[in-house]
C-alpha cells in the first residue's frame, strides 16, 4: 500500500471528452479542487470524432426554431421513451452551451450575415446543428482544453501553481471506484507510462467515460468505448438504466475492409443524400411509424422537395398548431337556457395553407389547392389533436 500515491480532491472527473471537460470546468469555477482523468492522451477523447455538429435551437437559419420545437423533435426521435426532463434540459440549455463555447474561443461556421451557421440533420425540423465543417467535435475539444489551460494559467498567477485547483491526469486508467460505507470515496487506477498505482480520494466522482460501442465488431466508435464507466458504476453498486439504447449510425463505410464501420457523416442525409437497399429502392418510406406518418413525406417527389424547396414542402409544426373556436351562430348563453349546441372547430393559423389529403391536414404549401375552412365537423384534425409546439 505504501507504493500507492494518494491524491486528495474535492471532485474527480473520470473522462476528458466533451462531458468530462465541461463538468471539470464547472467544478473548478465553483471553487472545487478538481482532477480530470483520461485513459488516453489529453485531447484524444472520442468527442474529437463528432462530425456533423451540435444541436441547439439558436434560430439563426430559421427563426421559427425554438427550444419547444427542439424538445418535441427529441421526444419524437426518442419514440416517447425519453426521460422528458432530460430532453427538456437539453433543448433549453444547448443554445447557451454553444454560445458559451464561442465565448471560450470556438470558431463555428457562419451564416452570410455573420451568425453561427446551422445545418439540417435527421430528425430535426429546422436547420439546427451548429458546426465547424465536419470537424465539430475537434473544435469542441480544442476549445474546452483551452478553457482548462486558461483556468490553470489563472491559478499559476494567483496561487503559484497551475495544477493547484485543476489537474489533468492523462493516460491514467481508473479500474475501481472506492466507497466509504454507502458513499463514494474516490477512484483507484494506474498510470500507463510507468505502471504506478494512484488513489484519488474525493467525496464526489463524476463518470464521463463515454459509451459501449466498441462491444460491437463493426462500429463507428473509437477503441475507448469499452463501457468502463458502466462497469465501474455497476461494481460500486449502482443500477444501470436504459442499457438497451445504443446509437448506431445509419450510414457507414462497408468497403474496403480496412475502413469498415467508419462513419459516413449523418449530414449527408441532412444535405439530401438518400438511403437505398440492394434493389435500389428508397426503403425508408416503409418504416415510418404510423403515429408519425402525417408528419413525413409520403413520396419520393415530396421528400426531394424538402431539400430543393423546404419552405414550400416541409410539414411545419405551425400547420398543426390550430386554434379552437366556437361558431357564434350555434352558441347560446347558459342564462338563455335551452340545449347547448355549440360547435367547436379547428382553424389553422394565419398564413398556413393546408392541403386536403386522406389523413387530414398534411402540410403547409403554396399550392393554389387551398383547403376551405370548415365551420362544422367532421374535421380531419379532430382525429389527430394539434401538437403544441
Ligand X SMILES: Cc1cc2nc3c(=O)[nH]c(=O)nc-3n(C[C@H](O)[C@H](O)[C@H](O)COP(=O)(O)OP(=O)(O)OC[C@H]3O[C@@H](n4cnc5c(N)ncnc54)[C@H](O)[C@@H]3O)c2cc1C
Q: Interface residues with ligand X (CB under 6 A)?
A: 14-20, 37-40, 45-47, 49-54, 136-137, 173-174, 208-210, 220-221, 224, 228, 263
Does residue 315 contact residue 295 with C-beta atoms inside 8 Å?
A: yes
Q: Which of 22, 70, 147, 269 is catalytic?
A: 269
From 238, 233, 208, select the one nearest 36 (Cα to Cα): 208
CB of 188 to ligand X, least distance (A): 11
DSSP result, 152-184: HHHHHHHHS-TTSSEEEETTEEEEEEEEETTEE
CB of 168 to ligand X, least distance (A): 10
Distances (CA, A) of 79 to 64, 83, 123: 23, 11, 11
Catalytic site residue 269?
Answer: yes
Separation of alpha carbons 196 and 203, rounded Å: 23
Starting at the edge strand that comes first in sequence, how are the strands of the sheet with 183-191 ordered?
Answer: 5-8, 197-201, 183-191, 172-180
Q: For 36, phi and psi rounded to 5 degrees? A: -110, 125
Separation of alpha carbons 16 and 26, rounded Å: 13
CB closer to ligand X out of 136 and 143: 136
CB closer to ligand X out of 137 and 354: 137
CB closer to ligand X out of 225 and 381: 225
CB of 221 to ligand X, least distance (A): 5
Q: Is 138 helix (H, G, I), strand (E, B) or coil?
A: helix
Position of minimal CB gap to ligand X: 17
Separation of alpha carbons 148 and 277, rounded Å: 46
Cross-strand partners of 191: 172
From 86, 88, 93, select the one nearest 58 (Cα to Cα): 93
CB closer to ligand X out of 166 and 263: 263
CB closer to ligand X out of 52 and 317: 52
Separation of alpha carbons 126 and 60, rounded Å: 10
CB of 120 to ligand X, least distance (A): 13
Does residue 196 contact residue 23 with C-beta atoms inside 8 Å?
A: no
Separation of alpha carbons 219 and 107, rounded Å: 29
CB closer to ligand X out of 11 and 352: 11
CB of 224 to ligand X, least distance (A): 5
Q: Which of 142, 249, 282, 353 is catalytic?
A: 249
CB of 251 to ligand X, least distance (A): 11
Q: Which residues are catalytic?
A: 249, 269
Amino acid at each position: 500500500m505504501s507504493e500507492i500515491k494518494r491524491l486528495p480532491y474535492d471532485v474527480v472527473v473520470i473522462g476528458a471528452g466533451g462531458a468530462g471537460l465541461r463538468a471539470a470546468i464547472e467544478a473548478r469555477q465553483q471553487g472545487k479542487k478538481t482532477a480530470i482523468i483520461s485513459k488516453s492522451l489529453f485531447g484524444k477523447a472520442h468527442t474529437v470524432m463528432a462530425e456533423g455538429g451540435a444541436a441547439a435551437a439558436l434560430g439563426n437559419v430559421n427563426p421559427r426554431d425554438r427550444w419547444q420545437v427542439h424538445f418535441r423533435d427529441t421526444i419524437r426521435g426518442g419514440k416517447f421513451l425519453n426521460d422528458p426532463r432530460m430532453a427538456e434540459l437539453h433543448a433549453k440549455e444547448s443554445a447557451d452551451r454553444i454560445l458559451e463555447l464561442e465565448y471560450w474561443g470556438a470558431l463555428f461556421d457562419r451564416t452570410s450575415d455573420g451568425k453561427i451557421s446551422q445545418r439540417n440533420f435527421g430528425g430535426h425540423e429546422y436547420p439546427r446543428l451548429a458546426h465547424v465543417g465536419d470537424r465539430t467535435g475537434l473544435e469542441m475539444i480544442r476549445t474546452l482544453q483551452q478553457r482548462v489551460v486558461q483556468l490553470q494559467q489563472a491559478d499559476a498567477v494567483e496561487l503559484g501553481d497551475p495544477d493547484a485547483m485543476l489537474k489533468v491526469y492523462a493516460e491514467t486508467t481508473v479500474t475501481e471506484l472506492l466507497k466509504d460505507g454507502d458513499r463514494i470515496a474516490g477512484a483507484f487506477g494506474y498510470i500507463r507510462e510507468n505502471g504506478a498505482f494512484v488513489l484519488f480520494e474525493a467525496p464526489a466522482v463524476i463518470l464521463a467515460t463515454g459509451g459501449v460501442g466498441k462491444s460491437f465488431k463493426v462500429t463507428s466508435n473509437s477503441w475507448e468505448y469499452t463501457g468502463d464507466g458502466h462497469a465501474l458504476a455497476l461494481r460500486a453498486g449502482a443500477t444501470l438504466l436504459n442499457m438497451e439504447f445504443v446509437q448506431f449510425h445509419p450510414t457507414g463505410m462497408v468497403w474496403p475492409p480496412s475502413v469498415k464501420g467508419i462513419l459516413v457523416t449523418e449530414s449527408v442525409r441532412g444535405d439530401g443524400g438518400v438511403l437505398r437497399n440492394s434493389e435500389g429502392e428508397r426503403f425508408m418510406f416503409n418504416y415510418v411509424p404510423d403515429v408519425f406518418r402525417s408528419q413525413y413525406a409520403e413520396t419520393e417527389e415530396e421528400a426531394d422537395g424538402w431539400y430543393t424547396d423546404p419552405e414550400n414542402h416541409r410539414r411545419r409544426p405551425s400547420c398543426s398548431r390550430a386554434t379552437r373556436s366556437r361558431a357564434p351562430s350555434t352558441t347560446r348563453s347558459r342564462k338563455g337556457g335551452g340545449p347547448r349546441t355549440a360547435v367547436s372547430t379547428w382553424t389553422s393559423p394565419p398564413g398556413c395553407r393546408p392541403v386536403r389529403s386522406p389523413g387530414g391536414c398534411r402540410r403547409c404549401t403554396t399550392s393554389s389547392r387551398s383547403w376551405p375552412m370548415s365551420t362544422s365537423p367532421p374535421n380531419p384534425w379532430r382525429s389527430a389533436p394539434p401538437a403544441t409546439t
